[in-house]
Structure 1
Amino acid sequence: MLDNPITPQTTSITFGLPTGEWQRRGITQATLMLSGATGENWSGFATIDAKANSVTFAVLNGVSTGTVIHPDAGVDEFELRGYSSPAASVPFPPAERDHASPDYEFSLRGTIPVVSTAGPSALHESLDRGRTGDRVSDYRDYWAVPTDRVQVKRGDTIRVVGPAGFFSGAWDAYLEGEMGQAWDAVALTPRISADLSTLTVTVPPSADFTPFFSSQYRPLMPELDLIKADRSSVVESPVMVTNPKPVTVTRLAGADRYATAVALSKAGFPSSAPTVVVATGANFPDALAAGPVAGFVNGPLLLTAPGALRADVSAEITRLKPSKIIVVGGVNVVSDAVERELRALAPTVVRIAGSNREETAEKLVDSVFASAPHVLMATANNFPDALAGATAADSIIGPLLLVDGNASAIDDATRATLQRLGTTDVTLVGGPAAISPQLEESVRAFARVDRAAGADRYGTAVAVAQSIFPTSYNAFLATGSNFPDALAESSLATTQMGPLFTTPSTCVPAATKAEIQWLGISNVVLIGGPAALGPGVAALRTC
């Protein structure tokens, strides 16, 4: 316990800091947290006085503000943390693990007396390790690295690099989860370099990271903990630990885009469907906007040629026995002849069409969504971003609005739709080249906006999954080179929720594969035949 007590008159607390490590590690900022006898938690922030090697925290109106210090107040627990600023770089070799630049952090914990009698306003305490003895009950050097997603799997090697001499003495190492994702800590054997700057561990091939309280294979906050044997130093490194379970890969495909849509419908709706949505298979905008609408009305999306209804599509509608068919688009994309054939297959047939692709999307949304707090928005000028966005919209039971991504602002009709829906959150799908920063700013005028974007179409699909899906059992893969196969994917995503990733025809991008592992996905469905998604994709071979 520290010597000098906190009193009701305390307005500042000054700590003399330990010598050596704080200066060597470039600590410039500190926080103080108090809890216990003062009756409520209190925290403060201050800049370290490097010359005096001390830090002073101002306690406005006394530390007991809002509380009563009882006559037998006792003690407060305190924790003093120091941070480097700017963050210092800790290299994880690219061949092993990569981290961004982390903060260094020291932490001193202990107790400090609290009394109700009068005392000085300025409290001074020395925390030099050589002078305080057992008055500081827990002195720890926390070397914290950021919470970026860093995959660690069985058999991987992790190397932690610090200043020369940091890893002196004996160390223990563990991989363990936190909160509801905890598992039995996996003990690791540390190997320390001759200059005591580098500690290396290898995850045993037999390690099991199955959480105690969850069937998920994606722990939320796993950690690599390095603990000095005398408990004077702790290095905490949040990492992503994967415990891969077998992934089943299946394929749904037809001879062409229309037959593929039929196959998806049969898989998603094996018995019947109350509503069927029909859109042209000749182009992408109408079908992409129609996908989330089909999901909302619990029906499949089927594709048609502009001038005639194919026999296999007609047969599928007959099998589904819908009471309603929604035709998407004007007569130039779905002809009157097709509409007449559809009227023979359901009691009610309605057509929803606008003067352009954006207006058609808005009218579709207006026809079924009474409200939508969260809306996804993608450019109508190209298909890759909207493919991923349509499936994500299905998962949040919300619409996908198509906009002219090159415009400097959303148009009045889109604004009116968002306001009618009571939209408070908008996710833009795609980078600034797809949806302009000016258009983004116009949306920010009345809604919170975030942007899911990657370096390319494949990266954007991953970003959408990261933004919308916290976990998933299913994932869908479709070619990123063309749109037809994935147009009707919402027929399956309606009943088997999961993200859609676009891929090249020969392999799976590394970021996509990492996201599949991160989400705990065990069922991957390929949309399209081997010409679109070849053997490399079916084997989930990394690009």
Structure 2
Amino acid sequence: MAPAPMAGLRRASVLVASLALLGTGIAPAHASDLPSPELTPRPAELVDAGDDTGLRAAPREGTPAFYLEGGAGGADAADGGIRTFAAEGSSDGTAATGSISGRITYWANGVSQGGLATGVAVAVKWDDVAGEWAGYTSAEADATGAYSLTSLPAGDYAVLAYDDLAGSPLIPEFWEDAQHISWATVTTLADGQAVTGVDEQLEPLVKDRIAGADRYETAVLASQAAFGEEVPCAFVATGANFPDALSAGPAAAHCGGPLLLVPGTVIPPVVLAELKRLSPERIVIAGSAAVVSSGVETTLKGIAPVTRYAGTDRYDTSRRIVAGEFGTAPAAWVATGANFPDALSASGAAAAADIPVLIVPGIASTLDSASAGALTKLGAKTVAIAGSAAVVSSGIQASIGKLSTAPQVLRLAGADRYATALAIVRFVWDGQSSIYGFSASGSNFPDALAGAPVAGWLYAPLYITSEYCTSLGVQTQVTELGIAEFFVLGKYQPLYYNGWQPFRSC
């Protein structure tokens, strides 16, 4: 008969519940069924944005259904959070003799640190009758990090590894590198079978930096992290300036592809290779031939059909992108096109909510007729303004409120660009959870531009922060969202640990 779950299993159960790692009703997903991208979007069908503004983060439709419902603390920690199996024997009634073994290691300060002596492995078994996962047994690691889960009957198992050290910053994971059981690699155990090599390396919150040699390679690496082959679209914009890409980022997420950057007159080899890997159904150029040349367009046509959105100025280009890619939308963001910080935050928020960003001449006393027409045709019932009245005037806000569609008008603003960025993320993600989080510099634009569609597609917040530190407000919000993997975009921000400290505080 199988042994009763150890005390370590109960501790793991509480931990699992607090991170919303485990749920019911999701059948095993075997390795061959898992999606190919390194990072996986959350499916729309399991998420309710929870308000009627249309501004809340909303995962893309049609993404893999490998994500579990529930938020932080969703299970009842008082009884361990997950049901545990009663003792169970093998199929012929004899004592179960199957086993799963491996090694728990850990990573810190950018280096693999070897075996985790305080590691615990938990065998979580699929119950066909109950139609849910349940904890079965657990085992503590030895001094080298080795563990062995024994006396296991035949069945499907997911193995959870965690650090039993009080206050550990290491994030629990299922095998292999999965924060949710529905993403785990499932081990199917026959009667008496011994499975070895189920190894897991635990990592702290700040997992990695996504950064290339320059802004163009960084955008490529961000694309590779989120998007597989044969995407519906890929957007291309100049990396030398920001206006055209501000609206292009949310549009790229809307159609299911990345935003890649080019210098203007040539396509860097790394970008060309990524476009060929993506094999998009179409390529969209944001901006005129003055910023992305006709020669670049000719080269792109050799990969896929090309659409170009080019207006008489940055504002006209923005209007064309919004009209051409969205048509209509339940909500929209408005930001100044004269500078980038607030619009960067709006782009990430819009991409997450699957709505557009329209840039306007922010210091004008009223909304110009062309922008008013664009918002009216969009039919947005809510319009959010990114930034204070110093960047998007109170006259423009009043003009938006007088549109024939009578939208609700909100303004998200803080004392500076970073406070505005946090206010936007807090509003969009209020009451929700996310597995991933991203940050990019607020003093430079390229990495955040390319990061917006990636973060939006992955249902993840994009924090615009200082190059040197992260505010306590951002750190608190990262904790509240239950983010398990945090990525720094670009080489402008420090990947800071200070032992186990994930962020340098402002």
What TM-score, normalized by structure 2, do the two folds share?
0.58
SS of the equivalent of 1:361 reads: helix
Paired amino acid for 1:458: Y
SS of the equivalent of 1:535 reads: coil
Aligned counterpart, 1:449: 409
Q: Distance in 1 between matches of 2:451 and 2:374?
A: 25
1:481 aligns with 2:438: no
The residue correspondences of 1:82-161 to structure 2 (distance < 5 A) are none
Find 1:535's aligned residue among 492, 496, 499: 496
Residue 180 of structure 1, CA deviation: 7.0
Q: Distance in 1 between matches of 2:386 and 2:313?
A: 20
SS of the equivalent of 1:465 reads: helix
Q: Percent identity between the aligned chains?
A: 40
Indicate how the Cα distance of structure 1 residues 448 and 244 shifts in structure 2: closer, same or farther if over 3 A, else same. farther
1:359 aligns with 2:320: no
Find 1:281's aligned residue among 229, 239, 259: 239
Checking the alignment, whether the CA contact within 8 Å between 2:229 and 2:279 is kept in structure 1 is: no
Checking the alignment, whether the CA contact within 8 Å between 1:268 and 1:491 is kept in structure 2 is: no
Structure 2: gaps of 5 or more residues: 1-72, 80-167, 172-204
Checking the alignment, whether the CA contact within 8 Å between 1:327 and 1:352 is kept in structure 2 is: yes
SS of the equivalent of 2:257 reads: coil
Q: Distance in 2 between matches of 1:245 and 1:183?
A: 20
The residue correspondences of 1:44-443 to structure 2 (distance < 5 A) are 246=171, 247-346=205-304, 348-443=305-400
Checking the alignment, whether the CA contact within 8 Å between 1:506 and 1:534 is kept in structure 2 is: no
> Across the two proteins, how many residue pairs are aligned to each other?
309
Q: Distance in 1 between matches of 2:494 and 2:283?
A: 31
Checking the alignment, whether the CA contact within 8 Å between 1:278 and 1:326 is kept in structure 2 is: yes
Q: Distance in 1 between matches of 2:206 and 2:355?
A: 29
Q: Distance in 2 between matches of 1:298 and 1:515?
A: 27
Aligned counterpart, 2:461: 499
Residue 303 of structure 1, CA deviation: 0.5
Residue 518 of structure 1, CA deviation: 2.2
Q: Distance in 1 between matches of 2:220 and 2:227?
A: 10
Indicate how the Cα distance of structure 1 residues 443 and 491 shifts in structure 2: closer, same or farther if over 3 A, else same. closer
SS of the equivalent of 1:489 reads: helix
Find 1:517's aligned residue among 471, 475, 479: 479
Structure 1 residues 138-188: Cα deviation after superposition (integer angstroms, max 9, x where no partner): xxxxxxxxxxxxxxxxxxxxxxxxxxxxxxxxxxxxxxxxx9787659xxx
SS of the equivalent of 2:457 reads: coil
Q: Distance in 2 between matches of 1:339 and 1:363?
A: 18
Residue 383 of structure 1, CA deviation: 0.8
Structure 1 residues 509-537: Cα deviation after superposition (integer angstroms, max 9, x where no partner): 111112212222222110012x4335369
Checking the alignment, whether the CA contact within 8 Å between 1:375 and 1:425 is kept in structure 2 is: yes
SS of the equivalent of 1:498 reads: coil
SS of the equivalent of 1:482 reads: coil
Checking the alignment, whether the CA contact within 8 Å between 1:245 and 1:522 is kept in structure 2 is: no
Q: Distance in 2 between matches of 1:251 and 1:274?
A: 27
Indicate how the Cα distance of structure 1 residues 427 and 181 shifts in structure 2: closer, same or farther if over 3 A, else same. farther
Paired amino acid for 2:416: D
Checking the alignment, whether the CA contact within 8 Å between 1:478 and 1:533 is kept in structure 2 is: no
What TM-score, normalized by structure 1, do the two folds share?
0.54
Aligned counterpart, 2:129: none
Structure 1 residues 313-360: Cα deviation after superposition (integer angstroms, max 9, x where no partner): 1111111111211111011100111111111111x1111111111111
Structure with greater helix percent: 2
Indicate how the Cα distance of structure 1 residues 245 and 362 shifts in structure 2: closer, same or farther if over 3 A, else same. farther
SS of the equivalent of 2:297 reads: helix
Paired amino acid for 1:283: N
Indicate how the Cα distance of structure 1 residues 407 and 183 shifts in structure 2: closer, same or farther if over 3 A, else same. farther
Residue 542 of structure 1, CA deviation: 1.3
Paired amino acid for 2:307: V
Q: Distance in 2 between matches of 1:248 and 1:272?
A: 30
Structure with greater strand percent: 1
Checking the alignment, whether the CA contact within 8 Å between 1:506 and 1:535 is kept in structure 2 is: no
SS of the equivalent of 2:289 reads: coil
Residue 248 of structure 1, CA deviation: 4.2
Checking the alignment, whether the CA contact within 8 Å between 1:281 and 1:305 is kept in structure 2 is: yes
Paired amino acid for 1:312: V
Structure 1: gaps of 5 or more residues: 1-178, 186-242
Aligned counterpart, 2:154: none
Aligned counterpart, 1:526: 488
Q: Distance in 2 between matches of 1:413 and 1:325?
A: 26
Indicate how the Cα distance of structure 1 residues 452 and 343 shifts in structure 2: closer, same or farther if over 3 A, else same. same
Q: Distance in 2 between matches of 1:536 and 1:245?
A: 12
Residue 272 of structure 1, CA deviation: 2.9
Indicate how the Cα distance of structure 1 residues 509 and 404 shifts in structure 2: closer, same or farther if over 3 A, else same. same
Indicate how the Cα distance of structure 1 residues 532 and 303 shifts in structure 2: closer, same or farther if over 3 A, else same. same
